[in-house]
Chain A
Amino acid sequence: DTAVSQTPKYLVTQMGNDKSIKCEQNLGHDTMYWYKQDSKKFLKIMFSYNNKELIINETVPNRFSPKSPDKAHLNLHINSLELGDSAVYFCASSQGLAGAFFGEQYFGPGTRLTVT
């Protein structure tokens, strides 16, 4: 069983399109995250949800909108895609922020988004 899964694994789309990436965790965690890994390989946190509530919201364009239908799912919707959105997006989960604090954060395999 995959603990944190993401779909799709690869996403190629054109500028201006709207796309979504889905994330699901079966670990029973209450906190989920989205990270972006840019072309220089830096992995940066974008959002975090705890029990479906937004608790971390880094400086991210409004075109990015996370949605958490329940605490096992955190989806990322991106409007009006731009070339600079090309990156690998990682979902992660933990039990509270304390889980991340202690390194008990579980990551998905990533979604490689390519905007042409």
Chain B
Amino acid sequence: AQSVTQPDIHITVSEGASLELRCNYSYGATPYLFWYVQSPGQGLQLLLKYFSGDTLVQGIKGFEAEFKRSQSSFNLRKPSVHWSDAAEYFCAVGGRAGGTSYGKLTFGQGTILTVHP
């Protein structure tokens, strides 16, 4: 069964500092990976996704993530955090086409990001 672990429940950074949110997955094949962001009172919004190809993927709002198969990781990064990035971030793995998990997303527990001015 697929699973996702986000080791950090809460991270605090200063505005302008760099950011890395960790995500580890468990999946029997090449995973389809996603990062979502949830701002207070809002639904989850897709930041970026990895399906295949280049292991460094770019997303919206200046975020990027790197897929590392050897480490089963898909960490989210941003070089310089803005106060508006304060939100909760969820990593997810998607089921492959043709499998019973197709169309289902398995989410991690989320990481709350606090940004200090």
Contacts and interface: CB of A to CB of B under 8 A. Distances in A.
Contacts of B92: 43
A42 to B, nearest CB: 6
Interface in A88-116: 90, 92, 94, 96-98, 100-110
**Closest 4 A/B residue pairs (Cβ):** A97-B103, A107-B43, A43-B107, A107-B44
For A31, A41, A92, A108, the residue with the greatest tally of chain B CB atoms inside 10 Å of its CB is A41
Nearest to B102: A97
A103 B93 CA distance: 10
A63 interface: no
Interface string A10-54: 000000000000000000000100000000111111001000000
B25 interface: no
Contacts of A102: 49, 51
Interface of A: 4, 31, 40-45, 48, 55-56, 90, 92, 94, 96-98, 100-110
Interface of B: 32, 34, 36, 38, 41-46, 49, 51, 90, 92, 94-95, 97, 102-110
Given A98-B103, A109-B42, A103 B109 contact: no
Nearest to A103: B49
Nearest to B94: A101
Given A43-B105, A56-B104, A100-B103, 10 more contacts: A4-B43, A41-B110, A43-B90, A43-B107, A92-B43, A97-B103, A101-B32, A101-B95, A105-B105, A109-B41
Contacts of B104: 45, 56, 100
Given A97-B102, A103-B49, A42 B109 contact: yes
B102 A101 contact: yes
